[in-house]
Amino acid sequence: MKRYLAALPGMALPAIAHAQSAVPGALDRAFGSLGGTEGAPLSLSLQLLLVMGLLTILPSLVLMMTSFTRILVVLAILRQALGLQQSPPNQVLIGLSLFLSLFVMAPTLERVNQTAIEPYAAGTINAEQAIGEAGKQFHAFMIRQTREHDLAMFADMADAPKFERAQDVPFSILLPAFVTSELKTAFQIGFMLFLPFLVIDLVVSSVLMSLGMMMMSPMIVSLPFKLLLFVLVDGWALLMGSLAASFG
């Protein structure tokens, strides 16, 4: 777990990988006078300042470039299907989503750590190469989870040429296509979760109507039965295992 947490800063690198050629050149020209000659590389302090500024977008990267979105949406739909308002609370759902995302993303984070972070820390590669290597790993994960239809839709809107390989898809097209696919998959899983609880609500409502107990709220009566069903089938273990397996 410590190794995966140490690789988390590498998640900020792929989001700027598609701009890695433009940003260093612009900064070199802007700050070239500090090095004495135009086009001189940035000093270490300026590089650290740039990296710290880029880390401010890390929460957005966690949401948009990992499995976090799908898992959180499914858990929120499950809570709604059970009829629970604030149980589990939002903090618990976010925590579950975060640590399950770490489990799902563990192979990708391990490869980012091996190919980008460790070589950069050892000084064998520069920052631009580390960004490229980290971007490749996240690109490979995201492209596997993205539907071809969504990818083609955003490619058409961007008037992009036909890509020969999956690796040729730029992040500017892959990011929105990936998020769209994740939301679609999350709602499909949520629909399947909602069905058995909806059946319980319909049965309880019909029974109460037949008994003439129209003043009794069906949600109050059906809630214990839905919780009982969820506990009997070991719902949390099944749900967590199914969510992790859905990423293949």
- Give buried/exposed letters for 201-237 (b at 16+ CB in 10 A, else e): beebbeebeeeeeeeeebeebbbeebeeebeeeebee
Q: Does a structural domain hold residue 149? A: yes
Q: pLDDT (tens digit, 9 = 90+) per residue, 120-157?
A: 888 888 878 888 888 888 989 999 999 999 998 999 99
Q: Does a structural domain hold residue 232? A: no
Q: Does a structural domain hold residue 235? A: no
Torsion of CA 118, 124, 126, 128, to 10 degrees: -70
Q: How far apart are CA 219 and CA 200, in angstroms?
A: 10
On the question of pLDDT at 12 being above 60, the answer is no
* Higher per-residue confidence, 50 vs 195: 195
| Enclosing domain of residue 125 | 2-190
Q: Does a structural domain hold residue 162? A: yes
DSSP H helical ranges for 113-217: 118-122, 127-144, 148-157, 171-210
Tally of domains within the chain: 1
Q: pLDDT (tens digit, 9 = 90+) per residue, 45-95?
A: 777 777 787 777 777 777 888 899 999 999 999 999 988 878 888 999 999
CA 92 to chain centre: 17
Q: Does a structural domain hold residue 161? A: yes
